[in-house]
Amino acid sequence: MATRGHIEGFPTPATRRRALNGGLVAAATAAFLLVATPATAQIVEGTDTTPAVVDMGLTPRTIAISSDGIVTDVDIVVDFAKIDDGGLGSCEPLASGGGAVWNEELSFALTSPTGTVVSLIAAGTYFDIGYGGRVQVHLDDEAPGTLSGLPATGTFRPTQPLSVFDGETAAGNWILTAADSTGGDPLCYFGARLLVDANVAPDASDSTATTTAEVAVPITLSATDADGDALTFAIDSVGGIGGTVVCTPTGGSDCVYTPPAGSSGTALIAFSASDGWQNGSAVVTVTVNAAPAPSPAPSVAAAANELPPTGAAPLLAVALACAAAGVGALLVEGRRRKRTASAR
């Protein structure tokens, strides 16, 4: 390593003897924030802005993420420089120190709250010898560029894909580990920003409906999604008295429930709403009332005891009079024949 000399544009040795957590921290934080990616409603972010001098060792940094969701995408921005400090073990001034900078010594790794480790920048990735300056490296699986040569500011694909974290719980402490394998050329770490796209499960709602035995009833499966994702619905089971559920179109929320023939009681329709990552579940409770009993046919005796309707009395009287007259005529004829027979 060459002896550190003064580099034009940097403070002289007399003016740069300040604490690493002083003005350098403020400068590092300001530069780091300038390259940060704006967050969206779906992105949960965490930052670390505590600088460190990493020289022949490991330095872990904790980045806390608070979210109820699961990971669907991860990006991270790391702010650092690799310098030759002439063996002084310091990052002040931030310069090459007049010697050769062995960039292959540096590496970064990220560990999720569940313990999954992804190599962000593997040792040997930056294989060129020389000073690349202070850089802000945005690591993104979808980036077109790859890491190589000297460290440079920009967006690049990490050594290992960050998609390894997909499906894990986002909430918790993520650990960024900065490493330098050899003494004399320290890795100057200034901070990092972690961007986690955390998917929140759909919120499905219970509901009720009422029908009569053997009568189909429309039902609506209800759910909302905080991320604004399109939802697909599925019937998981039909408990209780059972029955059938048909949704149109398939996967939609508009359905029709048909009770089983001759049954009454309660049907419990369990359903789920999926956003493609997670499911929300709920139950539609359908009360099926018994069909009303049919009215019995009137008996002959009951019909005889019924009063005639209004306006029918005169006709009934005439009929009764005629019947009585007929009976009287028969009685008279009977007596006449009896007398005739006696006379003979």
Write the DSSP assignment of 213-234 as a string of letters.
Answer: TT--EEEE-EEE-TT----EEE
Instruction: Tell me, yes or no, whether 27 and 54 share the same domain.
Output: yes
Q: 190 and 223 share a domain?
A: no
Strands (E), the chain: 43-48, 52-54, 57-65, 70-82, 106-111, 117-121, 135-139, 145-146, 154-157, 172-180, 187-199, 203-205, 207-212, 217-220, 222-224, 232-240, 244-247, 254-258, 265-274, 279-289
* Count of domains observed in the chain: 2
CATH number at residue 246: 2.60.40.10
153 in helix, strand or coil?
coil
Check whether residue 115 and residue 131 sit in a common domain: yes
Claim to verify: residue 243 and residue 149 sit in the same structural domain: no
Q: Please check whether residue 57 is in contact with residue 189, taking contact to mean a CB–CB distance below 8 angstroms.
A: no
Q: Does 14 reside within a domain?
A: no
Closest of 284, 293, 291 to residue 211, by C-alpha: 291
Do 172 and 29 sit in the same domain of this protein?
yes
Report yes or no on 326 lying in a domain: no
Residue 313 lies in a domain: no
Residue 298 backbone dihedrals phi, psi, to 5 degrees: -65, 140
| Residue 128 covered by a domain | yes
pLDDT tens digits in sequence order for the chain, 344 residues long: 333 332 233 233 233 223 333 333 334 444 443 333 333 337 899 999 999 999 999 999 999 999 879 999 999 999 999 998 776 777 876 766 667 899 999 999 999 999 999 999 999 999 999 999 999 999 999 999 999 999 999 999 999 999 999 999 999 999 999 999 998 889 999 999 999 999 999 999 999 999 999 899 999 999 999 989 999 999 999 999 999 999 999 999 999 999 999 899 999 999 999 999 999 999 999 999 998 877 776 665 555 565 555 555 554 454 445 555 554 554 445 556 555 555 54
Domain membership of residue 209 as a residue range: 203-289
∠ CA 156-68-49, rounded to 5°: 45
The reply to whether 169 and 228 lie within a common domain is no
Predicted TM-score of the model (pTM): 0.68
